[in-house]
Amino acid sequence: MEDDVLRRLVAFAEGDDNIRAVLVEGSRAFGKVDDYSDYDVVFVARSNEPYFGGAILPLMREWFGEIVVMQTPDDGDPHDVYTHLIQFSSGSRVDLTFNSLEFQSCFPSESATVALVDKDGMFSRLPPPSDRDYWVKRPTADQFRACCNEFWWVSTYVAKAVARGQALHALELLNDPVRREFARMLTWLAGADTDFSVSVGHLGGDMAPYVPKAFFDVLLRSYPRAECGEIGDALDGMMRAFPDIAQSVSGKLGYEYDGGEGERTVEFIEERLRWPRPEFRQEFPWTCRIFLS
């Protein structure tokens, strides 16, 4: 085995009769790897007890260098699952989880799983690893409507906070949930255009190739400083682009888009809050519709 991290972990597991299998999960399982990829490794063990209290950590320091920062989220009850999330000074990031045999048998392995050690043949029928479990999921009609409603509902909150000059309040609401719902709809567009057979990555990090550039640019420009004029521009940009994205998704999925909800919201913001306010720069090029014609 060429990879030194996996070689050391496999050698340890092969010499420990309590450990019955070694699984690699995530991007490394199906070969999508770069210099920053984590090692997501699962040791399936008869008992997790020998590893309580970080008993394996001295060895891991010897193998991979000093620990920069780590978490052990299962310290409260490590009997079924005991995870060590570790960033080493060498650059390696290892997420090492001990799963008890009983726990492992209760849950199917995720699609991005490959068995490096399988002493009892538990994983002999694993399909070839893939990112299928991370593909964009088709929303239900109710989920689609809820996304639209939440986007427009909280947009009024952002606009009011901007009108009051409350930059921090406005920015928090813009970040979550307004941008979250905008990005969710954009993710669904990526899914609808690919028959829901792609992953857009954690937090949408790999979304760009799957959506029109004009829409993705709006998403990128929705990360303003804590300054009311910039927050106003960011909200205005998303409000202008959202109907086109939602209409495209609704058409592809056969759902109904309530265009009136957005129109009434924009009208309310413009009339009641005198929006856009004169200090807003209004630099967005609104040409999104050409991508959907």
At 128-159, the pLDDT tens digits run 999 999 999 999 999 999 999 999 999 999 99
Average pLDDT over residues 77-96: 96
Helix (H, G, I), strand (E, B) or coil at 124: coil
Are 22 and 10 contacting, i.e. CB atoms less than 8 angstroms apart?
yes
Helix (H, G, I), strand (E, B) or coil at 211: coil
Q: Is the pLDDT of residue 281 over 70?
A: no
Q: Is the pLDDT of residue 113 over 90?
A: yes
pLDDT of 276: 57
Q: Is the pLDDT of residue 285 over 60?
A: no
Sequence ranges of the domains in the chain: 4-131, 135-291
Q: Is the pLDDT of residue 286 over 60?
A: no
Specify which residues 117 forms β-bridges with.
Answer: 22
At 205-217, the pLDDT tens digits run 999 999 999 999 9
- 28: closest CA among 86, 124, 110, 106? 110
One of 3.80.30.20, 3.30.460.10, 3.40.50.2300, 2.70.98.10 is the CATH number of 4-131, namely 3.30.460.10
* CATH architecture of the domain formed by 135-291: Up-down Bundle (1.20)
d(CA 135, CA 263): 32
Taking the complete model, does pTM exceed 0.75, yes or no?
Answer: yes
Query: Range with the lowest mean pLDDT among 62-76, 79-93, 218-232, 261-275?
Result: 261-275
Contacts of 75 (CB under 8 A, 6+ apart): none
Do 4-131 and 135-291 come out as alike in CATH topology? Answer: no
Q: How confident is the model at residue 82 (pLDDT cuts 50, 70, 90)?
A: very high
Contacts of 91 (CB under 8 A, 6+ apart): 35
Are 229 and 116 contacting, i.e. CB atoms less than 8 angstroms apart?
no
Mean pLDDT of the chain: 92
Query: Range with the lowest mean pLDDT among 153-162, 251-260, 269-278, 279-288?
Result: 279-288
| Tokens at 274, concatenated | 């005198």
